[in-house]
Every structure is written in structure tokens, then in C-alpha cells.
Structure 1
Amino acid sequence: MLILRSLIIVLGLFAGAVQALETASTSPATLKAYAVTLEQAAAGSQWHQMWKRTRDNGAFIQHGEHPRFTVSQDKLPDMARTTLGSATSVWARNSTQALYRYEFTTPIGSIASLPVKALCLVVDWRTLPAGTRTDDAGAMASVSLFIALPCP
């Protein structure tokens, strides 16, 4: 009985220590610092999953009113890295996501047939434990680069 009680207490302490990063209570400066590390440390599989979700969302379909890219697809990986590493603004979204935005000098896409110059990239930080150092590249391996879209 004492062993079971001790095990429950230890598990409770461990569960509290691995809470996901709450983006709403994290400063934009800290979210940007995490993104800089993620941009440098993200593996090809993380980028691949993001581009798959982006494609599945219709961002590469060249007709329609939905948000879609108009620049050539070979330019987008560098643009996404720029957005993540040098975001000009960041907003918390849901409880564990953040939206990073970077505005380029020329249009990169369109929404409802109107040209837009910004790229928005959504990152889901739910697998990053709260309190992780912003420069901890090893902790970035499970972070989800969620989706990239042209945005106003």
C-alpha cells in the first residue's frame, strides 16, 4: 500500500513537470526565441509534414478564393524558414499553438483574388514541456510545424 501511494505521488509530480507549453501565457518574445531555435533544429520530416498539411489544405491549388500561394513552390521552403526565424509578429492561438507572420516585399499569394505579401506559419508547441530553455535544440524534435499559408 505504501509503495502504491508513493508511486501515485511520484507520477503526479512527473505529470505536472511535463505540462505542455501554454502559448497564451508565454510572451511573444519567448515564442519568437523558441521559433528561432526550431527553425535551426527542425528535421526534414517536420517540414515534410507541414507541407503535406499545407497541400491538403489547398494552398497550392491555383484557382479559387481560398488562401493560396502564387510564388513558385521552390521558393517556399526558404520563405517558411525566414518566417519562422525572423517573424515580425507572433500570436498565441488555441492553447498550445502560435501563429508566426512575416511580410515579404512582393506578393506571395492571394486570398479572395486579392494579393497578399505575408506568410503565416502555425506551430503546435504541445509536445514542448513548459519551462524548456528557448535554445534547447534537442527539445524541438517533436514540435509540430503545423501549416503554412499566405495571410493578410
Structure 2
Amino acid sequence: MLILRSLIIGLSLFAGAVHALETSNTSTTTLKAYATTLGEAAGNNQWQQLWKRSRDNGVFNPQGEQPRFTVTQDKVPDMARTTLSSATSVTAQDTTQALYRYEFSAAIGTAAKQPLKALCLLVDWRTLPAGTAPNDSSHMGSVSLLQIFPCP
């Protein structure tokens, strides 16, 4: 009985992965609409995971050649939400990821001593079922906010 239950769960997870949102086949307009919904619906855990990965990647370190923020850390959450709601551009990455970019009027970071005005936020949509309406927030709690960094 336990083996059968495990098999059913495994198959349902596989089926879910097969039907995940494929960003390469999704229009920029739709990807932007999904991001707006995500920005409004993302929970604390999603944001906390993003901030942890960001700290691990050094984007909040005051020193180094890596892309890093020069604005105070307390401004970055609002800038991230602005990027999701008003992305200047969206680029599909891999199969289920999209890179959202928003350009601010002043420098927000630096990399190799060059000022950077844009914020990039990488989102993994693999847990969002294909065909989900862009304004449907019911599945947004499982979407991964992967990386955030200042970019050219």
C-alpha cells in the first residue's frame, strides 16, 4: 500500500513538472502579468529565501568586484517589487525561468567599479502550472524568487 501511494505521488509530481509554465513559449506581456501577480502575492518565506541567496552571492557586501548594491539594504525590497510590477524587459532563461529587469534613474549598484542603474530579478516559474491565468495568485506561493542583483 505504501509503495502504491509513493508511486502515485511520484507520478503526480512528474506530471506537474511536465505541465509547468515554459517561459520560452510564453509572451513577454504574459510573463510581465505573472510577475505583477507574484509581486503582490509572494509570501515572507519566498522573500526570505531570496534575501538569503542574495547575501550568499555577495550583493550586499560593501566591497568586491561582484555586482553589488550601493543603495541601503532597506530600499531593495521596494525596488524588487517595482521590478516585478513594472519590468523594463523580460528575458526567458532555461526552460522555466525569466529574468526581469528594471532601470532606475540613478545608480543602485556597482560591478568592477562601474555604476549600475538596473535591478535584475530571476524568477523560476517551474511550479506554476501551464495555463494558469496571469492574475491567479493561488499558485504563486510556490514560485521561486531565485536571485536579485544590480545589472547593466
Common fold by TM > 0.5: yes
Separation in 2, partners of 1:114, 1:40: 32
TM-score norm. by structure 1 comes to 0.89
Aligned ranges for residues 1-152 of structure 1 at < 5 Å? 15=15, 19-152=19-152
**Equivalent residues, number:** 142
SS of 1:137's equivalent?
A: coil
- CA-to-aligned-CA distance 1:33-55 (integer Å, 9 cap, x gap): 00000000000111110111111
The answer (yes or no) to whether the contact 1:97–1:123 under 8 Å persists in 2 is: yes
How big is the shift at 1:15? 2.1
- Which digits, 9 at most, give the CA deviation of each residue in 1:4-30, with x for residues without a partner? xxxx9xx69x92796111111111111
| Percent of aligned positions that are identical | 67
Tell me how large the CA RMSD over aligned residues is: 1.8
Contact kept? 2:17, 2:126, Cα under 8 Å: no
**Which segments of 5 or more consecutive residues in structure 1 lack a partner in the other structure?**
1-7
Uncovered stretches (5+) of structure 2, i.e. residues with no partner: 1-7
Cα contact 2:17–2:127 (8 A) shared by 1? no
Work out the CA distance in 1 between the residues paired with 2:49 and 2:41: 15
Matched residues in 1 for 2:65 and 2:109: separation? 11
**AA aligned opposite 2:36:** V
Aligned-partner SS, 2:40: helix
Give the structure-2-normalised TM-score. 0.89
* Aligned-partner Cα distance in 2 for 1:25–1:111: 32
Secondary structure of 2:82's partner? helix
Q: Judging changes above 3 Å, is the alpha-carbon distance between structure 1 residues 111 and 127 closer, same or farther for their aligned structure 2 residues?
A: same
- Tell me if structure 2 keeps the 8 A contact 1:18–1:129: no
Distance 1:22 1:72, change over 3 A: same
Q: Is the 8 A contact 2:16 2:129 kept in 1?
A: no
Q: CA deviation at 1:129?
A: 0.8
Label 1:74 to 1:19 Cα distance change in 2 as closer, same or farther (>3 A). Answer: same
